[in-house]
Chain A
Amino acid sequence: MADPGQAVALAAGEPPGATGHRISFRVGRDDSRFWIPVFLLPFLALYLGFTLWPLIATVIYSFFDWDGAQPLNQFIGIDNYTRILTDPLFWSAFRNTLLFAVLNTIIKLPLTLLAAVLLTRRWLLFKRFFRTVFFLPIILPVALSGLVFTYLLNPSNGALNSFLLEHGLLKQPVDLLGHDNTALLAVILISVWQIFGQYMLYWMAALQQVPEELYEAADLDGANERQKMFHVTLPLIRPVAVIITLLALVNALHVFGIIVTLTAGGPGRATYVVSYFIYTEAFREAPFKYGYASAAALIFAVLAFLFVSGQGLLARRAEQLRRQYGV
């Protein structure tokens, strides 16, 4: 449980244990006894209703055979779990989700960092214009960019195939979304395109944290751009980089909209992901299987949590080793 928390505390620039040192017990006339609960109420009410209770309820539902309409009285023990653990569709969805998250992260993080570095260079002209262009895709609802790409990649008259055929780069039209081995990759790349601006901004914010004096000092020592990058910038943004990586992984694990509109999990099961599995089981076809979907959601939440906090642990371990050996 500690790791994502650690990450966020890092994001906030302090270790989690450090909170509450400079607490003021009294501010002015002490009417805080009255106001503290009032200030907490809006968050607490929504948090209890829409985060904590749903987590608990998911656990409860997962032990029932329930369609949401009947009363919740068909207790079936761990049946849902045993069925899911042997449901090949769930496991292909799980495999695809992990593959999607990892590849998506591996592709988008270096590219967005590169873009952020380039678009914060002082010598570059028209920065605002280029930043806006790279940010553009994010203002398009994810689900809709999926639809646009179904057209652009359409084998019969889509823009990509028309272009490639006209210029003799292809003899036969390709159906990127129609083949098992290219569909997931196409979805990953489209998702990178879509989310690019957000991570570029994260990196740009991180780069702003590096004090200008350090670059000036490096200049005096005659460091070139590459040396400044590897010996000043990257080491200094490392803590933020860990958080950006975790965020990237978590967000990628939630992939949903783009799958619904681009491929609906197909062809076959090539792009079936867990959130789509949950949605389909729970809401798409009557009879709704709330219990079954809840069990799937829970298993997924636990596995995803282990996966992500595993990354966090690894990052922290690496950091410790680095400090230990002074490299």
Chain B
Amino acid sequence: MAVLSPPTAAIESLQRRPLRLRRTLRLNLIAIPLLLGVSFVWAYPFLWVVSTAFKTQLGAFTAGASLVPSPLVTTNFVRAWVGAAFSDFFANTVVYSVSSTLVELTKSAMCGYVLARYRFPGRDLLYKLIIATIFVPVASIIIPQFVLIQNLGLLHTRLGVVLAMSGGAGALYVLLFASYFEHLPQDLFDAARVDGADFIQTFRLMLPLARPIIAVVVIFQFIHSWNDFNIPLVFTLGQPSLQNLAVGLQAFHGSHSLDWAGFAAGMTISFIPVLIVFVAFQGYFVRGLSGAIKG
């Protein structure tokens, strides 16, 4: 045997790769069934919502835990979209999410840039204030916000809701931008100055470099405002035409508490755009967040 076998080094190099492959396979064979099981439980509420959206109203009630719609109908979507004005809720949600994301992004990028690269009177005070108020709970300042919007004559307007949604947040985003801009190499700024770039030109050169932070702010603020409930609820009380999906669907559920199929259809419509955003930007998300931590 010993005579016939090839040199030991060669055996090892031949065996190492299959061994690693085998180990990978074994780990996956343990992990994947486990993850699939957990995933099913995890995704069950979603699967339930989507399948209920295709059930009849009676079927939604008698199906128990079953995920198979029989008979399968699509009228729920029409009823939800047209009959229950989900199209309005949807449009409002898009308006609120897109505008508040733009407002957040603009104001925090501009403020963070100036805080990081320029010295001006009150700068340290502003820094300290921002840091001190970063953890102020929404619930504890919503009354004065409401009174302010009322006094501005913006109560029950979309602008009012957008202002309230994007006004209180954003301190964290400013700090993210500030720290990122501050860690950009000084050489870049020197080069811009040598080339005679003025303030705005320099800013336009530097802004694209902050892409990871921009990605984080966009994704966070978009998802946050898409799902926001507290502010839209308070600022659109009694105004169904201004409500977003979260508030509108809740109201719909209150008045049509037996129409689970219609409700499920509305929900299915509501989460598809966010699902697309997430699947499309998933890679950006982790990398951007990681860049944000690194600063």
Chain A residues at the B interface, C-beta cutoff of 8 Å: 1, 4-5, 8-9, 11-14, 16, 19-20, 22-29, 31-32, 34-36, 39-40, 42-44, 46-47, 49-55, 57-58, 61, 68, 118, 121, 123-126, 128, 130-145, 147-149, 151-152, 157, 159-160, 162-163, 166, 193, 201-202, 204-206, 208-209, 240, 246, 250, 253-254, 256-257, 260-261, 274-275, 278-279, 282-283, 290, 293-294, 297-298, 300-301, 304-305, 308
Contact = CB atoms under 8 A, between A and B. Distances in A.
B158 to A, nearest CB: 16
A202 B289 contact: yes
A278 to B, nearest CB: 5
Given A205-B293, A209-B293, 13 more contacts: A12-B176, A19-B116, A28-B201, A47-B171, A54-B143, A139-B271, A144-B249, A148-B49, A152-B45, A260-B250, A275-B137, A279-B233, A293-B143
Nearest to A190: B45
Given A132-B278, A132-B282, A148-B267, A42 B223 contact: no
A14 B295 contact: yes
A11 B174 CA distance: 13
A311 to B, nearest CB: 11
A143 B252 CA distance: 13
Contacts of B178: 12, 19
Interface string B104-127: 001110110111111110011011
B230 interface: yes
B254 to A, nearest CB: 10
B260 to A, nearest CB: 6
B94 interface: no
A141 B137 contact: no
B179 interface: yes
B270 to A, nearest CB: 7
A276 to B, nearest CB: 9
Interface stretch (B1-9, B10-18, B76-84, B128-136): B128-136
A13 B43 contact: no
Contacts, number: 346
A42 B203 CA distance: 16
B226 interface: yes
Interface in B278-294: 278-279, 282, 285-287, 289-290, 292-294
B294 A5 contact: no
Given A54-B148, A205-B289, A254 B138 contact: yes
Contacts of B233: 260, 279
- For chain B, give the interface size range: 35 or more
Contacts of B116: 19
B197 A27 contact: yes
Given A28-B193, A31-B198, A55 B141 contact: yes
A321 to B, nearest CB: 24
A27 B193 contact: yes
A23 B170 contact: no
29 contacts: A1-B128, A5-B128, A5-B132, A9-B179, A12-B175, A13-B179, A28-B195, A29-B198, A42-B106, A42-B110, A44-B111, A46-B167, A50-B145, A51-B136, A52-B129, A58-B140, A68-B146, A124-B31, A136-B42, A141-B229, A141-B270, A142-B229, A149-B45, A157-B61, A159-B64, A205-B292, A206-B293, A257-B230, A301-B140
A193 B45 CA distance: 10
A148 B147 CA distance: 33
Contact of A36 (B42, B43, B120, B176): B120
B42 A20 contact: no
Contacts of B147: 57, 68, 290
Interface in B133-192: 133-148, 150, 163-164, 166-168, 170-172, 174-176, 178-179, 182-183, 186, 189-190, 192
B262 to A, nearest CB: 13
Given A50-B145, A51-B168, A40 B110 contact: yes
Interface SS of chain B: helix
Contacts of B286: 201, 204-205, 208
A176 B219 CA distance: 34
B141 A297 contact: yes
Interface of B: 23-24, 27-28, 31-32, 35, 39, 42-46, 48-49, 61-62, 64-65, 103, 106-108, 110-111, 113-120, 123-124, 126-148, 150, 163-164, 166-168, 170-172, 174-176, 178-179, 182-183, 186, 189-190, 192-193, 195-203, 223, 226-230, 233-234, 237, 245-247, 249-250, 253, 260, 263, 267, 270-271, 274-275, 278-279, 282, 285-287, 289-290, 292-295
A129 to B, nearest CB: 8
Given A42-B111, A151-B260, A254-B138, A26 B193 contact: yes
Contacts of A20: 119, 123-124
A171 B11 CA distance: 61
A5 B138 CA distance: 18
B270 A144 contact: yes
A52 B133 contact: yes
A218 to B, nearest CB: 17
A1 B125 CA distance: 13
B48 A141 contact: no
Contacts of A138: 223, 227
A5 B118 contact: no
Nearest to A304: B137
Contacts of A152: 44-45, 48
A34 B174 CA distance: 21
A16 B128 CA distance: 9
The 7 closest A-B pairs by CB, nearest first: A50-B167, A162-B64, A12-B179, A5-B131, A57-B144, A275-B139, A13-B295
